[in-house]
Structure 1
Amino acid sequence: MSEKNVQKIVILGAESSGKSQLAEALARHYQTVWVPEYLREFVEAKQRVPLEEEQLHIALTQLERERVLLPGANNWLFCDTSPMMIALYSRYYFKQIPAKLEDLELLHDYDFTIVTAPDIPWIADGLQRESPAVRQQIHAQLVETLDERDIPFLLVEGGLDERLRQVIFTLDFLS
């Protein structure tokens, strides 16, 4: 299938809400590839959370990885996060974002958006996760942002199997 026929599906959600597990499981189900969250790799490599001036680099790298993996996708490309999440966290922690990151955030050129509910147990993950309270705040800001921008999304809830069923039913129905 050509790149232009591949549907880019983004999975958004606050910390510890199951985005990565869902992206990987969907890729396995649909026998395709997925784009892991670059932030996780960044934090592991640097052994620290990113600084304000590194946010744009993280977003650009995430998008570059989408571009690189797109040719190898089979009908679907599942993207674990997007510049929108990077911008939301930047606003939360730094109270501002660079103009270029805001431009990337506003592009949101995905064919479908999935949001993972913060209804699974919160698990500490070293430097990358702060608390269940922050997870709830970020989730509320994400839903509000999507609503304000009229970006339709599927909110998935429950355990991984339940979330998989919700997404598979929706994607199969839409395709």
Structure 2
Amino acid sequence: MENNTSIKKIAVVGPESTGKSTISEQLADHYQTVWVPEYSREYCSKLTGPCSWEDEINMFRGQLALEEELLPSANKLLICDTTFITVKIWSDYVFGKAPEEVLSELPKRHYDLYLLMDIDLPWEDDPLRNFPDLREYFMGVWKEELEGLNANYAIINGTQEARKNHAIDTINEFFNLF
């Protein structure tokens, strides 16, 4: 087991239906490590009405807690299927602003590398997905957010197999693994 400070965190982010969960699982398998699932997916599946402000805060806290829980199990890399920045993006869009708790955490929470999934995969309908016609808009928002954080990121595109290979090559090159 690695010292937690030596664990490199990779965030797999992007608009809805861009293969984040699939690639996260594939990367964790490839690097023989753990991946942090998207907390909001399970949380939202239990909601009986529209997502509220308090729900957004709960998802923010839940995502961070899940990362902290899984970090000790990571083998050099921790793969995160999305991050709490999603809460900021959704809150900005739905409520016109993001919770202060989320905004204050943004500069404190470091991810070594972001893999921004492109919108070139076909939309897959899912009861938890809301905006099939806004993927281009949200892709732009993700780019703005990552650039605003001065984050290290790469756009990952292509078919599912090409994405996996592109992501592995990007990670290997970024961390000088091979």
- Aligning the two structures, in what range does the TM-score lie when normalised by the shorter sequence? over 0.9
In structure 1, distance between residues paired with 2:152 and 2:139 = 15
Match of 1:149 in 2: 149
Instruction: Measure the CA separation in 2 of the matches of 1:86 and 1:78.
Output: 18
Map Cα deviations across residues 37-91 of structure 1 (whole Å, 9 max, x no partner). 0111011122444212221110111011111101111111100111211101110
Query: Identity of counterpart residues, as a percentage?
Result: 32
Find the counterpart in structure 2 of residue 52 from structure 1. 53
1:160: which partner in 2? Answer: 160
| Deviation string, structure 1 residues 91-126 (Cα, Å, up to 9, x no partner) | 011111121111123334111111000110111111
- Conserved? CA contact 1:89–1:138, under 8 Å: no
Q: Aligned residues, how many?
A: 174
2:82 is equivalent to residue 69 of structure 1: no
Partner residue of 1:18?
A: 19
Take 1:72 and 1:65, find their aligned partners in 2: how far apart are those partners? Answer: 12
| Contact 1:114–1:155 (CA under 8 A) maintained in structure 2 | yes
Cα offset, 1:149, TM superposition = 2.9
- In structure 2, do the counterparts of structure 1 residues 135 and 108 end up closer, same or farther at CA, with 3 Å as the change threshold? farther
Partner of 1:139: 139
Question: How has the CA–CA distance of structure 1 residues 48 and 24 changed in structure 2, closer, same or farther, with 3 Å as cutoff?
Answer: farther
Q: Please give the alpha-carbon distance, in whole angstroms, between the structure 1 residues aligned to 2:152 and 2:95.
A: 27
Structure (1/2) with the larger helix percentage = 1
CA, structure 1 residues 11+154, in 2 after alignment: closer, same or farther (shift >3 Å)?
A: same
1:171 aligns with 2:171: yes
Runs of 4+ off more than 3 Å:
none
Q: Aligned in 2, Cα 1:160/1:66: closer, same or farther, shift over 3 Å?
A: same
Q: Match of 2:87, as an amino acid?
A: I
* Residue in 1 that maps onto 2:103: 102
AA partner of residue 166 (structure 1): H
- Write the letter of the residue equivalent to 2:16: E
1:129 is aligned to 2:129: yes
Unaligned runs of 5+ in 2: none
SS in 2 for 1:107: coil
Q: TM-score, normalised by structure 1?
A: 0.93
Structure 1 unaligned runs (5+)?
Answer: none
Checking the alignment, whether the CA contact within 8 Å between 1:115 and 1:154 is kept in structure 2 is: yes
| Cα-to-partner distance string for 1:120-151 (whole Å, 9 max, x where unaligned) | 0111111x212322222111111122223322
